[in-house]
């Protein structure tokens, strides 16, 4: 793969809106990605293997629990810093950002928000350093966009719960030490349970043959009469709103992350357009390629402004689920369009692993599907503006 020469576009001088801390956090994540992710990620993606050696570094740059309070091992940062870290990690690879998102927003967040103090102290510090890796089991074979229909269930057996069912498409599942699993009790109410690797009847087979997110491990969670200790139930929130609350945080991070992937594709295509000569001039001097580049930088700039504002709203506790949906949907779609155009700009070279663009493009096909599909987020916006839910 080519050396990482990335230069971040900042067309509307967004840096002026950031604090010194934001810039420090962003720059250290950027430097870490250049040093530890860019040189190896293509090889791991080609081999469809997760690069376990980066886990410790992800913890050190605040990639695990950036906004979780310091007393629990988190970095105690604000929502803009969290977003900037996601942007930089996904600039390297969406699969690496997935590991970070799942650990932070789908495992640490529910333990922090819905767990008790013993659970927080037992799990959060180890999750923050990467000593422990977690995964999040919501999706089932027959319930993806409609998680409320889930059939995974647990029964109260007096001194423990008995868990049965299956989850699929679970990021980090094949090597996770713990899983935050959403299941229905005998009354049909959804609760979160912490299931630990090694519990009898709990297996995590890997999902193979993915063309997307190849450097992230995906798998199933299978529960065959798993005895879960009662102290592993998250006590402080139940109902579908509990897992959906975690998704708000993860989707917000993805909105920033997608900008990173888009910036990398734009920057690569811009550089290539100045170097590649056809018909005795750089392809960047042709109107058709300039149109692509001009539209890319316009869309990246709009997405940056949207997401920065959303970060401010989140810092103030005012961001709504529908606002987060709009940003996730817009930014991932924007990144996919840019990846496709940038790939074309590189001609035949665009399909090789010499450049990051095709990997970003394939990764983004997962990003546009997980954490709520493109269609579901449109329906969330539609419901928000009309008042009519059109899902059912
Ligand atoms: P609905 O009736 O609308 O809501 C059920 C209850 O939940 C409440 N609620 C929320 N609470 C907190 N935060 C939110 N964002 C909430 N959204 C809704 C709601 O008020 C209600 O509460 P209550 O008290 O009245 O019961 O639910 P619905 O069944 O009609 O479904 C709505 C819909 C379709 C929007 C929702 O289910 C949805 O978002 N579906 C998409 C599923 C999804 O995003 N799955 C993601 C799985 S995890 C994943 O993909 C990880 S990939 C990670 C990686 O690798 O990076
Ligand atoms: P479906 O829900 O079957 O949707 C199929 C199509 O129908 C989509 O185009 C959808 O938009 C459309 N559709 C569905 N409902 C409607 C409707 N009402 N109106 C109009 N169109 C509709 N899940 C987890 O729980 N944890 C994870 O860690 C996780 N990681 C993932 C990693 C990867 C690589 C992938 C691909 C998925 C992951 N997921 C995870 C699952 C992901 O959240 C689901 O794939 C997603 O929610 C969509 O569900 P589905 O695949 O069952 O598609």
Please state whether the predicted TM-score (pTM) of the whole model is above 0.95: yes
Query: How many other β-carbons are positioned within 10 Å of the β-carbon of residue 143?
Result: 16
Q: How far apart are CA 154 and CA 233, in angstroms?
A: 11
The pLDDT, as a whole number, for residue 93 is 98
Mean pLDDT on 73-80: 97
Task: Give 290's contacts (C-beta < 8 A, 6+ positions apart).
Answer: 284
**Can you give the CATH number for the domain in which 328 is found?**
1.20.140.10
Query: Do residue 271 and residue 178 come from a single domain?
Result: no
Query: Do residue 168 and residue 288 come from a single domain?
Result: no
Query: Do residue 344 and residue 322 come from a single domain?
Result: yes
Q: pLDDT tens digits for 30-46? A: 999 999 999 999 999 99
Query: Do residue 219 and residue 245 come from a single domain?
Result: no
Q: Is residue 391 part of a domain?
A: no
Q: Could you identify the atom of ligand 2 that is nearest to the CA of residue 137?
A: 25
Query: Do residue 364 and residue 251 come from a single domain?
Result: yes
- Tally the domains of the chain: 3
Q: Is residue 80 part of a domain?
A: yes
Mean pLDDT on 121-137: 98
Query: Do residue 232 and residue 245 come from a single domain?
Result: no
Mark which of 80, 102, 133 sits at the end of a domain: 133
Query: Do residue 321 and residue 283 come from a single domain?
Result: yes
Mark which of 220, 237, 254 sits at the end of a domain: 237
The reply to whether ligand 2 has any atom less than 6 angstroms from the CB of 170 is yes
Q: Is residue 120 part of a domain?
A: yes
Q: Ligand 1: residues whose CB is within 6 Å?
A: 98, 101-102, 136, 138-139, 145, 147-148, 171, 239-241, 244-245, 247-248, 321, 370-372, 376, 380, 389, 391
> Residue 160 belongs to what H/E stretch?
strand 160-171
Mean pLDDT on 231-243: 98
Q: In the predicted model, what is the mean pLDDT of the chain? A: 98
Band of the pLDDT at 1, cuts 50, 70, 90?
confident
Query: Do residue 96 and residue 142 come from a single domain?
Result: no
Q: Is residue 103 part of a domain?
A: yes
Query: Do residue 183 and residue 48 come from a single domain?
Result: no
Q: Can you state the angle between helices 20-32 and 79-92, rounded to 10 degrees?
A: 20
Q: Is residue 2 part of a domain?
A: no
Q: Is residue 44 part of a domain?
A: yes
Asked whether the beta carbons of 63 and 85 are under 8 A apart, the reply is: yes
Ligand 1 centroid – CA 224 distance (Å): 26
Query: Do residue 197 and residue 127 come from a single domain?
Result: no
Q: Whose CA is nearest to atom 8 of ligand 2?
A: 373
Where in the sequence is the domain holding 21, given as residue range(s)? 14-133
Kindly state the DSSP code that residue 143 receives in the 8-state scheme: B
The pLDDT, as a whole number, for residue 166 is 98
Q: Is residue 1 part of a domain?
A: no
Q: Is the pLDDT of residue 68 over 80?
A: yes
Mean pLDDT on 7-22: 98
> Residue 101 belongs to what H/E stretch?
helix 94-101
Report the catalytic residues: 371
The pLDDT, as a whole number, for residue 246 is 98
Query: Do residue 253 and residue 368 come from a single domain?
Result: yes
Mark which of 187, 204, 237 sits at the end of a domain: 237
Query: Do residue 251 and residue 347 come from a single domain?
Result: yes
Q: Is the pLDDT of residue 2 over 90?
A: no
Q: Is residue 5 part of a domain?
A: no
> Residue 41 belongs to what H/E stretch?
helix 38-47
Query: How many other β-carbons are positioned within 10 Å of the β-carbon of residue 124?
Result: 23
Task: Give 219's contacts (C-beta < 8 A, 6+ positions apart).
Answer: 170, 173, 174, 204, 205, 206, 207
**Can you give the CATH number for the domain in which 227 is found?**
2.40.110.10
Q: pLDDT tens digits for 135-167? A: 999 999 999 999 999 999 999 999 999 999 999
Percent of the chain beyond pLDDT 90?
A: 99
């Amino acid at each position: 793969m080519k050396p990482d020469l990335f230069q971040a576009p900042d067309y509307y001088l967004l840096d002026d809106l950031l604090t010194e801390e934001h810039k420090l956090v962003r720059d250290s994540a950027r430097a870490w990605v250049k040093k530890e992710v860019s040189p190896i990620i293509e090889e791991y993606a080609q081999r469809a293997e997760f690069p376990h050696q980066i886990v410790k570094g992800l913890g050190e740059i605040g990639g695990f629990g950036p906004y979780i309070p310091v007393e629990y091992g988190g970095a105690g940062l604000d929502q803009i810093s969290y977003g900037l870290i996601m942007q930089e990690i996904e600039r390297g690879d969406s699969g690496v950002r997935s590991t970070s998102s799942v650990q932070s927003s789908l495992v640490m967040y529910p333990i922090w928000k819905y767990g008790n103090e013993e659970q927080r102290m037992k799990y959060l510090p180890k999750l923050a350093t990467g000593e422990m890796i977690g995964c999040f089991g919501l999706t089932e074979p027959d319930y993806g966009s409609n998680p409320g229909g889930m059939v995974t269930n647990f029964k109260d057996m007096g001194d423990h719960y008995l868990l049965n069912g299956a989850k699929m498409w679970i990021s980090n599942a094949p090597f996770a030490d713990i899983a935050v699993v959403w299941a229905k009790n005998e009354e049909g109410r959804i609760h979160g349970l912490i299931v630990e690797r090694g519990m009898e009847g709990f297996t995590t087979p890997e999902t193979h043959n993915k063309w997307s997110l190849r450097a992230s491990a995906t798998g199933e969670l299978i529960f065959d009469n798993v005895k879960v200790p009662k102290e592993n139930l998250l006590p402080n929130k139940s109902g579908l709103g509990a897992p959906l609350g975690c998704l708000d945080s993860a989707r917000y991070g993805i909105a920033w992350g997608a900008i990173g992937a888009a910036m990398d594709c734009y920057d690569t295509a811009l550089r290539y357009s100045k170097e590649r000569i056809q018909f005795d001039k750089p392809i960047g001097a042709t109107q058709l390629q300039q149109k692509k580049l001009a539209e890319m930088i316009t869309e990246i700039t709009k997405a940056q402004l949207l997401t920065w504002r959303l970060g401010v709203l989140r810092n103030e506790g005012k961001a709504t689920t529908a606002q987060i949906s709009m940003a996730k949907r817009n930014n991932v779609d924007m990144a996919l369009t840019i990846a496709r155009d940038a790939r074309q700009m590189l001609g035949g070279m665009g399909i090789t692993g010499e450049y990051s663009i095709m990997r970003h493009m394939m990764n983004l096909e997962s990003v546009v599907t997980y954490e709520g599909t493109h269609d579901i987020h449109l329906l969330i916006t539609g419901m928000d503006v009309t008042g009519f839910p059109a899902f059912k």
